Amino acid sequence: MNISKELVAASATPIILAILQAADSYGYAIIQKVREVSDDRLTWTDGMLYPVLHRLEEGGLVCSRWETAETGRRRKYYRLTEAGRAELGRLREQWLVVHNALERLAGPTGGGEDHV
């Protein structure tokens, strides 16, 4: 199943914020996590993650710091800020509204029941 570009782009922010809510992380690990939780069906162009991360940082939703791994490789870790946490809550609500609307209209039961 190929997910459309627009949908991938729109879902990137809430997904990144959600991953960072669980724990601080760096770019490569975030990509791996996305692959893992979506069973490889949600794939991003690796590089494109970074402009998104930097935009989130500019907006104050995440903050970053450099850390050196035991291997000596330097990695930039991102952490969710309070503003980011609030934004994640808002985004999640929005996605649920869309999700619920779609389920009611075209879900397996074909409308009627509420799937919250």
Partner 1 sequence: MFELESQVRKWRGHLRSTGSLGEEELEELESHLRDSVDDLVSRGVTAEEAFLVSVRRMGDTGALSDEFAKVSTESLWRQLLVPAADEPSRRRQRMEVTLVIGLAVLAGLLGKVPALFGWPLGEGSTLVYAKNASLFALPSVAVYLLWKRSLSLRFVLTAAGVFVGAALLVNLYPSYAPHDTAVLMAVHLPIALVLFCGVLYGGPGWKRAGTRLDFVRFAGEVFIYSVLIGLGGGVLVGVSMVTFQFIEVDISTFMFNWVVVCGACALLVVASYLVERKKGRIEAIAPVLARIFTPLFLMVFLSLLVTILSTGRVPSEDRELLLWFDLLLALVLSLTLYTMSARDAEQPRDLWDVMALALVVVALVVDGIALSAIVSRLAEYGTTPNRLAVLGENVLLLVNLLLVAVAYARFIAGRLRYQAIVEVQMRYLPVYVAWAGIIVVLFPPLFGFR
Measure Cα distances from 104 to 90, 93, 113 in Å.
21, 16, 7
Nearer to partner 1, 55 or 92 (CB): 55
Helix axes 27-37, 5-22, angle to 10 degrees: 110
Q: Which tokens in the block code for residue 34?
A: 């996305």
As a whole number of angstroms, the distance between CA 97 and CA 62 comes to 25
- Residues near partner 1, by CB under 8 A: 26-28, 31, 45-48, 50-51, 54-55, 58, 65-66, 73-76
What is the smallest separation between the CB atom of 55 and partner 1, expressed in angstroms? 5
What is the smallest separation between the CB atom of 50 and partner 1, expressed in angstroms? 6
Distance of CA 114 to the CA centre of its chain: 26
Nearer to partner 1, 46 or 93 (CB): 46
Nearer to partner 1, 77 or 95 (CB): 77
What is the smallest separation between the CB atom of 99 and partner 1, expressed in angstroms? 28
